[in-house]
């Protein structure tokens, strides 16, 4: 091996480390990537040189050595929504902890064509795996037809025979909300549902139905819309609530709008109608009244999704499914009707 010292750059290279340790640059690469054939004395010498020079392997060099980019491609639907945005941030945080980077592609209303475009763009970047956050049924149909030849993880509550899946147990969260209302003596519980092309909205809707059916109640009024506060406000302002004493809103934004609309009509929350939301926004405790809601642990979800992604990259090809249980946070927007 030549002992001519290469010119030093501002940031040391693999060749600089090789010169300091007295080995070839390929030996440095093998040490970085944990190759088992390196003698311990050589490994120690290389690691000492790396530490002394504060060398950080470039993603390009690592990709050449492992044929992996250590980059995860994420297709995310509606980043403006609390759940998808928090899931993406949690995944990015977990990925950094494992030495992975995340490339995200956001799709909007035209989810079919944008899903196709997003997958093609991310595959072209050479990502090691795909993660789909907050999918709609239509966007997953597009993905199913495309069948990208990469490990693919979908963030949704139900298992899927085509992909690894991980998600919050949306149905269980909805049941927690409705069972809380039933335990408080409510017998007519309405549901302001999210858009039915969204898997999460469908699961929360199903949980609302199941909790009432198991309690022997007649299902309350059900109105489906979008995820916005405007939807909740408009419905609350214009609906004849009849004997409804409680509302389960599919997310906290809908609940916020509903509280506003009801109070403008002179209907007090919670003395006349109790309201439960879903998500536990950071501001939910400051609603007037503070909102009873279902909390999702997005940090735990991000870690679980990242572990599934890594397992899939390492060759775990059989689809797996994991869920995280949400919890109910009780505040002042609900009141018991027992004794009335």
Number of domains in the chain: 3
The verdict on whether omega for the bond into residue 289 sits within 30 degrees of 0, i.e. cis, is yes
The verdict on whether omega for the bond into residue 320 sits within 30 degrees of 0, i.e. cis, is no
**Spatial separation of the C-alpha atoms in residues 196 and 200, rounded to whole Å:** 9
> What confidence score (pLDDT) does residue 7 get?
45
Query: Same domain, yes or no, for 273 and 318?
Result: no
With contact defined as beta carbons under 8 Å apart, do 101 and 95 qualify? Answer: yes
**What's the CATH code of the domain at 251?**
3.40.50.2300
pTM of this prediction?
0.76
**Whether residue 5 has pLDDT greater than 50:** no
**Spatial separation of the C-alpha atoms in residues 255 and 233, rounded to whole Å:** 8
**Spatial separation of the C-alpha atoms in residues 315 and 309, rounded to whole Å:** 10
Query: Same domain, yes or no, for 290 and 276?
Result: yes
**Spatial separation of the C-alpha atoms in residues 90 and 78, rounded to whole Å:** 16
Query: Same domain, yes or no, for 158 and 203?
Result: no
Residue 332, domain member (yes or no): no
Residue 337, domain member (yes or no): no
- Which residue in this structure is represented by tokens 């519980």? 189
Query: Same domain, yes or no, for 108 and 254?
Result: no
Mean predicted confidence (pLDDT) in 315-322: 79
What residue numbers bound the domain in which 61 lies?
Answer: 14-66
Query: Same domain, yes or no, for 162 and 149?
Result: yes
**Whether residue 191 has pLDDT greater than 90:** yes
- Tell which wins on pLDDT, 23 or 170: 170
For residue 149, the SS3 value is coil
Residue 150, domain member (yes or no): yes
Distance of CA 120 to the CA centre of its chain: 21
With contact defined as beta carbons under 8 Å apart, do 264 and 288 qualify? Answer: no
For residue 223, the SS3 value is strand
Tens-place pLDDT, residues 240-279: 999 999 999 999 999 999 999 999 999 999 999 999 999 9
Query: Same domain, yes or no, for 90 and 30?
Result: no
> What confidence score (pLDDT) does residue 8 get?
41
Query: Same domain, yes or no, for 152 and 188?
Result: no
Q: Which of 66, 91, 126 is the last residue of a domain?
A: 66
Q: Which two tokens stand for residue 260?
A: 């506003």
């Amino acid at each position: 091996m030549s002992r001519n010292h290469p010119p030093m750059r501002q940031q040391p290279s693999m060749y600089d480390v090789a010169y300091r340790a007295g080995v070839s640059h390929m030996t440095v690469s093998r040490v970085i990537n944990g190759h088992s054939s390196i003698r311990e004395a050589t490994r120690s010498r290389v690691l000492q040189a790396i530490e002394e020079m504060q060398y950080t392997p470039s993603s390009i060099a690592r990709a050449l050595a492992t044929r992996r980019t250590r980059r995860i491609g994420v297709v995310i639907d509606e980043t403006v929504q609390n759940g998808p945005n928090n899931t993406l941030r949690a995944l990015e945080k977990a990925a950094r902890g494992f030495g992975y980077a995340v490339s995200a592609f956001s799709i909007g209303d035209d989810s079919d064509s944008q899903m196709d475009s997003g997958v093609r763009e991310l595959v072209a970047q050479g990502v090691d795996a795909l993660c789909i956050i907050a999918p709609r049924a239509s966007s997953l149909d597009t993905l199913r037809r495309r069948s990208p030849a990469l490990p693919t993880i979908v963030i949704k509550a139900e298992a899927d025979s085509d992909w690894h899946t991980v998600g919050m147990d949306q149905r269980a969260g909805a049941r927690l909300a409705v069972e809380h209302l039933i335990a408080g003596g409510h017998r007519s519980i309405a549901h302001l549902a999210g858009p039915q092309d969204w898997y999460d909205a469908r699961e929360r809707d199903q949980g609302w139905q199941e909790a009432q059916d198991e309690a022997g109640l007649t299902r309350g009024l059900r109105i489906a819309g979008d995820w916005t506060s405007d939807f909740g406000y408009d419905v609350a302002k214009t609906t004849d609530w009849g004997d409804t004493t409680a509302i389960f809103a599919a997310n906290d934004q809908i609940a916020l709008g509903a509280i506003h609309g009801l109070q403008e009509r002179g209907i007090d929350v919670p003395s006349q109608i109790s309201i439960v939301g879903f998500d536990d926004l950071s501001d939910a405790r400051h609603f007037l009244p503070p909102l009873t809601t279902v909390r999702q642990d997005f940090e735990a979800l991000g870690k679980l999704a990242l572990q599934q992604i890594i397992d899939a990259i390492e060759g775990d090809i059989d689809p797996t499914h994991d869920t995280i249980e949400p919890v109910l946070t009780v505040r002042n927007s609900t009141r018991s009707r027992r004794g009335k």
